[in-house]
């Protein structure tokens, strides 16, 4: 009888553990294994309530320290939404006008910046060039002075190109109107009102060959995966670029941020609309960025968010559904897909339906391009398929940033040509592809001989 009771208890415990199985846990842990990610943390907030807050794996491999929901992870470029929130707090206080010329806040700005607005800086459409020739030790003012001597790359608001220079200028604007250094302004307007405990910059200072940084409690180390092993990975986030990247935070702090954005006590609906609504650009297209936030459709749903590192951090917010997802990791070789992957557990991708396609005058080229994808799924790059210019201008980025994306997909099952356009010795080809339950539109640029100049997934 005792043995029978033991079996009953064991069966009940097994049934209970099965009933409590968490699809998010399963998904995140599977992706960590596939991508060799030591540690991660997740926050999910729905209608202002935290419904998931959990950490996985190791924050530090050398000391075998487990990751926690209070572990401080590097956000990299996901710092920009924090900058966006800081901006909107200043707007609500009447200190900043998104549509005012930046010359109002920068008296020494050149006449060529007269038509550049604060909004243009925040949504990457200012035209201020990124190629500013200054030393790594140059101050923010030195950088801005050098940038001001260069011609704009395009008329303000004409198009949008992701970069850092505009955010260096934006930082100066924020400091001038707030009367505080950027780090202090962010703390006063965002961290303190929201009660954030793990959000800070390392505030590195370099002199000669030496470098000192502030102590950030419970900071996660960052790792890359190389030759079958983890190696330490560091990236020096310069102080002058803090409006664009370098902030540390935790899943617990991001849960507070996402919960606060669900209401209006921290920011008004008008301010959130400025962050999450695209400006119409001069080329007739909506901008891919709002005030500090990246904007895109995910399976037909409107989202705002950002990623950084390329995927040390990944935030995705669905304003209409009031669902926010944040994923933090300490694995550098990872494509920023995890937040979307979790979102699809709530809102599954619709059944894949590929378009009819167009007539293919060069099926042998299509076969070659499909082979490029097959190589990528195998984690390989056959350089013979690429133009000479791509070997230095594209393949390094392919290996670093794009190959990890293939680990989030199933192999190619259908591959349909949907667009072909040629100009100036280059042909753009687009293919609708089915990868299991997912559809991806691949863009390939090839030269006249059919060699690949570059390729990647097209934004939805």
Contact 279, 80 (CB under 8 A): no
**CATH number of the domain where residue 336 is located:** 3.40.710.10
113-140 burial code (b ≥16 CB/10 A, e <16): bebbbbbbbbbbbbbbbeebeeeeebeb
Decide the pairing of beta strands 229-232 and 452-457. unpaired
In a domain, 7, yes or no: no
**Looking at residue 9, what is its pLDDT?**
42
Boundary residue ending a domain (303, 325, 350) = 350
Claim to verify: residue 345 and residue 370 sit in the same structural domain: no
In a domain, 86, yes or no: yes
Which two three-digit tokens encode residue 218?
Answer: 């419970």
Claim to verify: residue 246 and residue 107 sit in the same structural domain: yes
Write the DSSP assignment of 129-152 as a string of letters.
Answer: -S-----TT--HHHHHHHHHTSPP
Claim to verify: residue 132 and residue 185 sit in the same structural domain: yes
Claim to verify: residue 274 and residue 346 sit in the same structural domain: yes
**Looking at residue 27, what is its pLDDT?**
96
Q: The tokens 């992701």 sit on which residue?
A: 162
In a domain, 372, yes or no: yes
**Looking at residue 21, what is its pLDDT?**
54
Q: CA 18 to CA 390: how far, in whole Å?
A: 50
Contacts of 338 (CB under 8 A, 6+ apart): 28, 31, 40, 311, 314, 327, 329
Beta bridge partners of 442: 431, 457
Contacts of 9 (CB under 8 A, 6+ apart): none
Claim to verify: residue 66 and residue 102 sit in the same structural domain: yes
Claim to verify: residue 206 and residue 287 sit in the same structural domain: yes
Q: The tokens 């009771």 sit on which residue?
A: 5
Contact 335, 100 (CB under 8 A): no
What sections of 267-394 are H helices per DSSP? Answer: 269-276, 338-346, 363-377, 388-393
**Looking at residue 402, what is its pLDDT?**
92
Claim to verify: residue 169 and residue 311 sit in the same structural domain: yes
390 cis-preceded (ω within 30 degrees of 0): no
In a domain, 11, yes or no: no
Claim to verify: residue 261 and residue 165 sit in the same structural domain: yes
**Looking at residue 149, what is its pLDDT?**
95
CA 32 to chain centroid: 18
In the 8-state DSSP scheme, what is residue 348? P
* Positions of the chain with pLDDT lower than 50, given as ranges: 1-20
Which two three-digit tokens encode residue 244?
Answer: 């664009």
**CATH number of the domain where residue 449 is located:** 3.10.450
Main-chain dihedrals φ then ψ at residue 222, nearest 5 degrees: -110, 140
Selection from 121, 119, 101, 120 nearest residue 111 by Cα: 101
Claim to verify: residue 139 and residue 280 sit in the same structural domain: yes
In a domain, 452, yes or no: yes
Angle at 98 between CA 143 and CA 165, to 5 degrees: 20
**Looking at residue 146, what is its pLDDT?**
95
Which domain, by its residues, includes 406? 363-457
Structural domains in the chain (count):
2
In a domain, 13, yes or no: no
């Amino acid at each position: 009888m005792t043995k029978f009771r033991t079996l009953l208890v064991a069966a009940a415990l097994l049934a209970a553990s099965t009933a409590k199985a968490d699809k998010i846990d399963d998904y995140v842990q599977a992706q960590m294994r596939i991508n060799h990610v030591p540690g991660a943390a997740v926050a999910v907030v729905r209608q202002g309530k935290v419904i998931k807050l959990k950490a996985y794996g190791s924050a530090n491999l050398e000391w075998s320290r487990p990751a926690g929901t209070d572990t401080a992870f590097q956000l990299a470029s996901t710092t920009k939404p924090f900058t966006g929130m800081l901006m909107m707090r200043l707007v609500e206080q009447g200190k900043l006008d998104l549509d005012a010329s930046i010359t109002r806040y920068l008296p020494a700005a050149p006449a060529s910046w007269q038509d550049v607005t604060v909004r243009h800086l925040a949504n990457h459409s200012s035209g201020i060039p990124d190629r500013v020739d200054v030393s790594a030790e140059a101050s923010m003012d030195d950088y801005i002075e050098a940038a001001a001597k260069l011609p704009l790359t395009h008329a303000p608001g004409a198009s949008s190109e992701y970069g850092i220079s505009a955010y260096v200028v934006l930082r100066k604007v924020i400091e001038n109107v707030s009367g505080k250094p950027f780090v202090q302004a962010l703390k006063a307007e965002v961290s303190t009102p929201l009660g954030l405990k793990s959000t800070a910059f390392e505030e590195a200072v370099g002199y000669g060959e030496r470098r000192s940084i502030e102590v950030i409690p419970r900071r996660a180390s960052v790792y890359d995966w190389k030759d079958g092993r983890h190696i330490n990975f560091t990236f020096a986030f310069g102080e002058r670029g803090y409006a664009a990247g370098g902030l540390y935070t935790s899943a617990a702090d991001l849960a507070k941020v996402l919960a606060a954005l669900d209401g209006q006590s921290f920011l008004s609906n008008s301010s959130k609309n400025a962050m999450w609504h695209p400006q119409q650009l001069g080329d007739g297209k909506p901008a891919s960025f709002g005030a500090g936030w990246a904007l895109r459709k995910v399976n037909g749903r409107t989202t705002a968010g950002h990623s950084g590192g390329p995927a040390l951090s990944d935030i995705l917010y669905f304003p209409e559904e009031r669902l926010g997802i944040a994923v933090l990791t300490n694995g550098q070789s990872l494509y920023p897909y995890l937040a979307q992957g979790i979102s699809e557990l709530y809102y599954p991708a619709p059944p894949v339906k590929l378009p009819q396609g167009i007539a293919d005058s060069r099926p042998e080229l299509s076969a070659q391009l499909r082979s490029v994808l097959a190589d990528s799924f195998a984690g390989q790059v056959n350089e013979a398929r690429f133009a000479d210019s791509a070997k230095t201008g594209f393949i390094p980025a392919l290996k670093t940033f794009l190959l990890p994306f293939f680990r989030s997909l199933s192999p190619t099952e259908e591959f349909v040509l949907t667009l072909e356009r040629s100009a100036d010795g280059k042909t753009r080809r687009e293919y609708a592809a089915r990868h299991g339950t997912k559809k991806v539109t691949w863009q390939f640029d090839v030269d006249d001989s059919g060699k690949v100049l570059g390729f990647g997934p097209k934004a939805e």
